Amino acid sequence: MALVITAVLAVALALTAVQAADQQYEEVKDWPRLPAGMEMGEAAGVAVDADGHVLVFHRPGRGFAPSATEPLKDPAVLEFDPRDGHMIRSWGANTFLVPHGITVDQANNVFLTDVALQQVFKFTHDGTLIFRIGEQGVGKWDATHFNQPTDIAIRADGSFYVSDGYVNSRVALFDKDGRWIHEWGKNGSAAQEFSNPHGLSLFARNTDVIVADRENSRLQLFDSRGAFKRQWRGEPGAATTGRVFSVATDRDGFIYLGVRRADYDTAHTGVLKLDQRWNIVAAVGFDRPGDPKFNAVHDIAVAPDGSIYVAETRTKRVVKLRPSARP
């Protein structure tokens, strides 16, 4: 009985923390606007470029199918105007199998991961390939292979981290030309271990790495070489806030999380914003009155103006949230 009471109190306290979050966001309706006759596939990744444009990496006509071998015939990268949501350009037709992560560097180059191709890519902003890492369709764990890589975080000098991923359980650092430098992690739930490192971001003036350790329902923070610094499991625990699918940070040190406990569980699915002390200061979704009802949060990006973009897979959409003055 004591254990049951403790569990109930834990959930109640966590819900209170979410309900007490003081910053408000509202959904921007009818965003984005796709051209006539075009449909968005599963929205796996979302990023904001140096011009504030929103890039979406989606799976037109396909779900999460790591064994896929036929390239997607439609463009997988879509670029949208942040204001009215009209599509600026698209590219990547007949190139990808199962799109996943997308990140844009300071020079507007686009980094992508594909879990079926087992590769990480760097493209120019308009879709010209600069380099790729990994052997197409071959999953391994070494300096030149991945096994279903998930996300990328890019440092100011052009070097970058890759979370790898659904099968491997590591974070690897590469130089600006794609050469392996260092890595850390293994499968497990202890510090410096992962169960699907699914999302990445840089933290503390881009000197630390923060990892969305999805199936362990937590964040882990590391220094630039992978030394463990701290973790976050929610307040008071992940039973309420759910699995952490994605993480993003802003220039002021706030952390944004896309979380979901289970598919179709809208009460435990949404977006959390943490302050510099990792306390919840905003929550969107979670069946809160007036909020959008999220179902399959997969990735998240934050624009310089404070807008949040949420990519969902099952619902095949991207939701734009903007700061609101509503009480």
**Residue 256 one-letter amino acid:** Y
Sequential pLDDT tens for the chain (327 residues): 433 333 333 333 344 444 445 689 999 999 999 999 999 999 999 999 999 999 999 999 999 999 999 999 999 999 999 999 999 999 999 999 999 999 999 999 999 999 999 999 999 999 999 999 999 999 999 999 999 999 999 999 999 999 998 999 999 999 999 999 999 999 999 999 999 999 999 997 888 999 999 999 999 999 999 999 999 986 544 445 689 999 999 999 999 999 998 878 898 899 999 999 999 999 999 999 999 999 999 999 999 999 999 999 999 999 999 998 655
Residue 174 is encoded by which pair of tokens? 């590469």
Please report which helix (H) or strand (E) contains residue 230, including its range: strand 228-232
How many Cα atoms occupy the beta-carbon half-sphere of 289 within 13 Å? 2
Q: Cα separations (Å) of 266 from 76, 238, 242, 285, 286?
A: 27, 15, 11, 8, 6
Q: Which CATH number fits domain 2-324: 3.90.850.10, 2.120.10.30, 1.10.3720.10, 2.60.40.10?
A: 2.120.10.30
Both structure tokens of 14: 């966590």
Query: What is residue 287's predicted lDDT score, i.e. its pLDDT?
Result: 92
Other Cβ atoms less than 10 A from the Cβ of 41: the count is 20
Question: Residue 46 and residue 103: Cα distance in Å, rounded?
Answer: 8
Cα–Cα distance for residue pair 303/47, rounded to 1 Å: 9
Do residues 256 and 249 touch, judged by C-beta distance below 8 A?
yes
Q: What whole-number distance in Å separates Cα of residue 207 and Cα of residue 275?
A: 18
Say if residues 90 and 75 touch (Cβ distance below 8 Å): yes
Structure-token pair, residue 1: 């009985």
Comparing CA positions, the residue from 155, 217, 214 lying closest to residue 182 is 155
Q: What is the per-residue pLDDT for 20? A: 46
Rounded to the nearest 5°, which phi and psi values hold at 241? -80, -20
Q: Which two tokens stand for residue 26?
A: 């509202």
Rounded Cα gap, residues 150 and 127, in angstroms: 20
Is the CB of residue 213 less than 8 Å from the CB of residue 230?
no
Q: Is 180 exposed, middle or buried (0-12, 13-18, 19+ CB in 10 A)?
A: middle
Helix (H) or strand (E) holding 203: strand 197-203
Task: Look up residue 60 and give its DSSP letter.
Answer: T
